[in-house]
Amino acid sequence: MKRIITLIAMVAATPAFAAKGPFFSLANTDFIVLISFVLFIGVLLYFKVPGMLMGMLDKRAEGIQGEIDEARALREEAQTLLASFERKQRDVQEQADRIVAAAKESASEAAEQAKLDLEKSIERRLRAAEDQIASAETSAVRQVRDEAVRIAIGTASEVIARDMKADRADALVDEAISTVAAKLH
């Protein structure tokens, strides 16, 4: 490690050993380097390089500041858009909730109406069935009466035919014709 440090010191100190004689002599390399450096700085100042560098740095700083301002504006716009989208999402969610509630209420009302319609339909069918039963009863009673009347007429005609004589039959026919004629006119 000591050898490396010594080697570095020797390489770095070599230009200083090259200078011999007085400092303000053209043979002194340090003096030549100083003059060259001062001339270089003078040329830079003459051509206003520091001003140009400062101008370029200022332009770059302004560009960076503009980009930062633009980034802030974009960030604020993004936050505004985010807030707007969140607000719209809440509005849409509320609207969806209202639609679902309305649909549930509508479904409930429809179910209630269907229940009422079903009850009315059942009631109508019961009435129709009762009417059919009553009609069937009436028809059955009428058929029984008609059959009873037919049997009674048949029996009565047999009884009358057996018990009635011819002159009595003619008198009854004449009386029936006169009764029918009187009722028709």
pLDDT of 21 reads 60
What's the pTM value of the predicted model, to 2 decimals? 0.39
Question: Which amino acid belongs to residue 125?
Answer: R
**For 6-20, 101-115, 165-179, which range has the lowest pLDDT when averaged over its residues?**
6-20
Which position has the higher pLDDT, 53 or 151? 53
- Which sequence spans correspond to the domains of the chain? 1-47
Burial of 31 (0-12, 13-18, 19+ CB in 10 A): middle
pLDDT of 73 reads 96
* Distance separating alpha carbons of residues 61 and 19, to the nearest angstrom: 44
Hey, what are 89's tokens?
A: 């999402």
Mean of per-residue pLDDT scores for the chain: 84
Query: What region does 164 belong to: left with phi over 0, alpha with psi -120 to 50, or beta?
Result: beta
Residue 24 dihedral angles phi and psi, to the nearest 5°:
-90, 45
Q: Is the pLDDT of residue 68 over 50?
A: yes
How many residues in total does the chain contain? 185
pLDDT of 13 reads 47
Q: Is the pLDDT of residue 20 over 70?
A: no
Q: Is the pLDDT of residue 10 over 60?
A: no
pLDDT of 2 reads 62
**For 46-55, 102-111, 141-150, which range has the lowest pLDDT when averaged over its residues?**
141-150
